[in-house]
Structure 1
């Protein structure tokens, strides 16, 4: 197979610097000017601002409250009662509502101003304006109150990424009920594993969805989910896949259209339920590759303060802008996408296969909606690059200002592709955080330059460091554990049903007491740029040397014949290790000695001899979770002899059949005779 020639991009290589007018007009620059004028606090650059935000967190978060004019029924008693993790109380005494702030721009928006651009494989591209959104939220919230939904009740959703789901979320939050969502592609058991834990009162459900041109009906699945949730009192049915069809014959079911066609509730008469500082806004779940997913509870005030900061200062969204991120409703990135409304920006909603009907469909969508911020996972970017796409030559992307890459570590080549194939004057950003905080720890600033593969900075208010195993700070440039040493508002309030806080503590505080250990490996260089090297719990520990899987993927997936890869390291008796590399090859490629030698040589040269695998195998598919993460830990467990049922949940997989090869491999391969003591 002929090898393509491409410029080698060095990690940390300079790629872009913001224009002076772009940086000066940014939200973070305006905030720094406000601090200077109103608070007599002057900062020479972003780094100085960050250092103040983490050394004086009470002053910083109080300034966020004041700068964005957070609405509360009464003043808060204090910003933070004590600097402890977990257990610190943020803005105790306040009474706020997140949905009220999401919809605040409705009163400022011009008639007909767009809040949602939306399309799917079922529906053509359309728009919803701010006035329609506000009216539908008020109507639905009022109807839910009439159904007996009260503050603290759980409301769950099994719906696609369409405006109705966004309306349902906002209406739920508006009345103080607690929202939780699962994507319709989730299997029954995956949904039940989540929702049964939180005992919901009301379910929003759609009749199905379309993906890759194929219809997936969901009535049978919804019936099974309802049967498994005895606390349900009401079902609201959306005839999305087959509009106009009647709702199924179920107890207490009502069609979406019947509710939303009820009389309008005037804005001045509607009352948002403002709730205390620790009142839950939603429950999000960990990926759930093994065991019951963690039910993570966030608060209105914590999410509101964090999202105001994130959307303005780190994503620079503004009125007239449009934010797109490819996500399903089962991923916290969907929550973040809707948070763009806090800035007066529109959100672009898409439900379907990102490469259907054409591989560059999402770029057409970006052009048609005048998207200003385009977001996707590194896996999607890799697919576009391997397909040879050059969107900047085909589409009008003149409105596009920034790229948000999230969901997995990004490589220097990912960054470089955007500048080569999309646009030269582009703020390409990578972010890293998690479901646990519904935001990011490290991310972007519109005032800083972009370097290849590098996350620009630590986010304001996030006291992030790289710590060695002994709890000491790693020097600049050394890979170590990502920790946060100062409390921040978007920490989970608790895990649902974790009455003594044991699971919460074990998840983040069992290694370094009082310090948040996130479970990622990070490197912070001398200029404050950050690199994420994958999950520390999936790190390859070979003869006492820890190897980040992202380093290997970056090298291996630059080999022209390689379409995708996965690597794990299994501990053997006697202190030995077995580190196999699994490859999905491009059509027409074959794993021969020449390809093996080139892969091993590249790993030895670009990484180290310890990065060279013990064996290389080819597979038809690399298994991924529904949120696009390679399933390294479940594969490792399977190869170590775990039964599939305990190692992974099929319903939590993007491609469930991909795991079967690894099950057979573990059972049949002679390489695993060591489990019986042969090695």
Structure 2
């Protein structure tokens, strides 16, 4: 018929109600109630958070555990037959001991735990949290909670006790399921002190009933008798009288999940997502953008504290088999996860640019160390994927037949604004296309200084600006949890441009290929002499030309009270054995000038002993920018190595700036 992706995307955003209604009917979902002919009021203001699919009721866990027939009734089909394997569970150091879990076993486990929860007074709307690894136990808690209509929330075990309580004290869970131990990079960690602190920190809340210990190592469970209000999982389950599954079907827009912002700029925001929106948009991405179905095997490397954990679970909705891996992907050696993907027949592998960078640094070519003939899609997200890594994936690393799906969006919308698709040619760099059903545009960057809301101007293709969404979409959060939630929600997304969601990314759409380039965070945009560009452009040059000398870098703008213009400041983390020299600085500036422009060249280039990162490994620019601009800050607990920020304070002083810019200087 000659229809191309651009036609399909245009239809999906100009006929949004029809597109989402057709998509809902296309997916084999379990639901009840008539699908309305108009599933959303298309003219509704985006900041009104309009209701979608009024009259439709469904349950998250039921859609994971069953498929729907044409009438929306649950059936054992689409790959979810009792004897079929649903999950392969693998733990660090035990890649030869893959534990298979069938759909029947998963349904039985969820049924038993949900019955125990009901017996212990868990009802629709109650919050149940986990502080746990990526395991079948964690998934069982997720599905048991949501089968009742409860609200689930997960936190990774690598978050400290204070960070955990910052989150849990806001949502006030009834029970918290906690791993008794954790293992990462061969280091075993006793989580019982965290259990104790959780109990102490939540005891003031009447909702809190206790912690439930999940056993990380089956042959040696930890002794929790000294922890007040604690249960062994077996004791918690003992009150269940059956393993019968009973599903509370809820409104399409009812909440089922609370996720958290990074917390790098303040207390983590508790973002509440709805059942139907995440189910519909997530399955759209997995089925249409990534071609996942009941024949697929999906391995998403993730912790439970990252939104990509949800993406892994969404594959189960489509009947795919998932591989759940817990621990470092590089133990016993950097090729570990690649070999696991090969041995388990993975068709869809999800990783991050940092993972790929580590493989390249260790001279590992995945296609040379393992049979990846079944691999169809390699998904990357979490940070900007550089052009050099993009080329490495095809030139040296993975089979040329794979589809590299580079996407961006995630936590705030439980989905992606930009994603790959199988209908378009793939070009180096950026994200392949705008996601179906989302009205994504690029606006002229906001210039208001008085806090007023602007109208917003859409930019021509090829010009860099703010990534925005100008119309409602089903996976918008329903609210922020806690006091002042609606106000904080509005301030986070709608306070810059009128009737527009502002996502906070600085992007550009290529005038010919239409791919979307992410140039950096909008709050970290560099603006020397009025020329705006993103830090990702600088990082791309460093990674492409100096990866053998420079392990990492952070590039920020500096504008102190006394400065009339912003200066670009680049900090380099050198690899062991390499020295910071005038020659290196000159080579870097020359490469940036040649590959980008003279306006991109940093005024100052310094060495640094450490770069601040979050617990997910994302580098953090804003605190560095604030510090070198002369501000004193209180480091966020979301920064894994916040002590390293102390080093940057000296660079707000003129004498240090000019002295430190000479590589021979001693600080």
1:49 is matched with 8
Partner of 1:85: 46
Partner in structure 1 of residue 530 of structure 2: 544
Contact map agreement 1:498 1:504 (CA 8 A) in 2: no
1:83-119, CA deviations, whole angstroms, 9 ceiling, x for partnerless residues?
Answer: 2212211112221111111111582234432211221
Q: 2:471 maps to what in 1?
A: 486
Say if 1:668 and 1:187 are closer, same or farther in 2 by CA, change over 3 A: farther
Q: Which residue of 2 aligns with 1:192?
A: 165
| Distance in 1, Cα, partners of 2:551 & 2:577 | 11
Partner of 2:400: 424
Summarize deviations over 1:445-467 as a string: whole Å, max 9, x none.
11222111131111110111111
TM-score by length of 1: 0.88
**CA–CA distance in 1 between the matches of 2:578 and 2:629?**
29
**C-alpha separation in 2, matches of 1:664 and 1:160:** 39
Distance 2:655 2:308 in 1: 39
CA distance in 2, matches of 1:262, 1:338: 28
Displacement after TM superposition at 1:76 (Å): 4.8
Matches within 5 A, 1:119-518: 119-121=90-92, 123=94, 124-230=97-203, 231=205, 232-241=208-217, 243-259=220-236, 265=242, 269-419=244-394, 420-469=396-445, 471-499=456-484, 501-518=486-503
Alpha-carbon deviations, 1:553-611, whole Å to 9, x = none? 00012213112111111112241333221111122211111111110000111111122
Distance 1:499 1:164 in 2: 34
- Three-state SS of the structure 2 residue aligned to 1:92 is coil
1:147-185 CA distances to partner (integer Å, 9 max, x unpaired)? 101101111111111111111111111111111111111
Q: Distance in 2 between matches of 1:565 and 1:278?
A: 42
| Inter-CA distance 668–574: structure 2 relative to 1 (3 Å threshold) | closer
Partner of 1:635: 624
The CA deviation at 1:68 is 1.6
Instruction: Tell me: CA distance 1:253–1:96, structure 2 relative to 1, closer, same or farther (3 Å).
Output: same
> Which stretch of structure 1 is more off in the superposition, 515-524 or 71-80?
71-80
Aligned in 2, Cα 1:261/1:129: closer, same or farther, shift over 3 Å? farther
Q: 1:614 aligns with which of 600, 603, 614?
A: 603
Structure 1 residues 409-454: Cα deviation after superposition (integer angstroms, max 9, x where no partner): 1122222111121211111110001310011011011122211113
Match of 1:604 in 2: 593
Alignment check: 8 A CA contact 1:97 1:174 kept: yes
What is the rounded CA distance, in whole Å, between the counterparts of 2:483 and 2:473 in structure 1?
21
Bigger drift between 572-581 and 186-195 goes to 572-581
* Match in the other structure for 1:62: 21
Q: Is 2:582 aligned against 1:593?
A: yes
| In 1, Cα distance between equivalents of 2:29 and 2:103 | 20
Q: Deviations over 1:57-84 (max 9, x none)?
A: 1111111121124333322554114522
SS at match of 1:423: coil
Q: Judge which range, 270-279 or 107-116, deviates more.
A: 107-116
Could you tell me which runs of 5 or more consecutive residues in structure 2 were left unpaired when the two chains were aligned.
68-74, 447-455, 660-667
**Structure 1 residue 664 displacement after superposition:** 6.2
Greater mean deviation of Cα atoms: 614-623 or 162-171 = 614-623
Give TM-score, length-normalised by structure 2. 0.90
CA distance change for structure 1 residues 262 and 196 in 2, over 3 Å: closer, same or farther? closer
- For 1:20-31, what aligned pairs fall within 5 Å after superposition? none
Deviations for 1:230-276, whole angstroms, at most 9, x for unmatched residues? 3311321112157333333334422124455787846xx52211112
SS of residue in 1 equivalent to 2:46: coil
Which stretch shows the higher mean deviation, 178-187 or 587-596?
587-596
How many residues are matched? 628
Name the structure 2 match of 1:564.
552
1:343-400 residue CA offsets vs partner (Å, 9 max, x unmatched)? 1111211121222220111101111211111111112211211211111011111111
- Determine the C-alpha separation between the residues in 2 that align with 1:541 and 1:75: 52
Which residue matches 2:648?
662
Conserved in 1, the CA contact under 8 Å of 2:113 and 2:240? no
- The answer to whether residue 96 in structure 2 is matched with residue 107 in structure 1 is no
| Structure 1 residue 660: Cα displacement | 4.2
Contact kept? 2:130, 2:176, Cα under 8 Å: yes
User: SS in structure 1 opposite 2:527?
Assistant: strand
Q: Is the 2:180–2:221 Cα contact (8 Å) retained in structure 1? A: no
Which range moved further: 88-97 or 116-125? Answer: 116-125
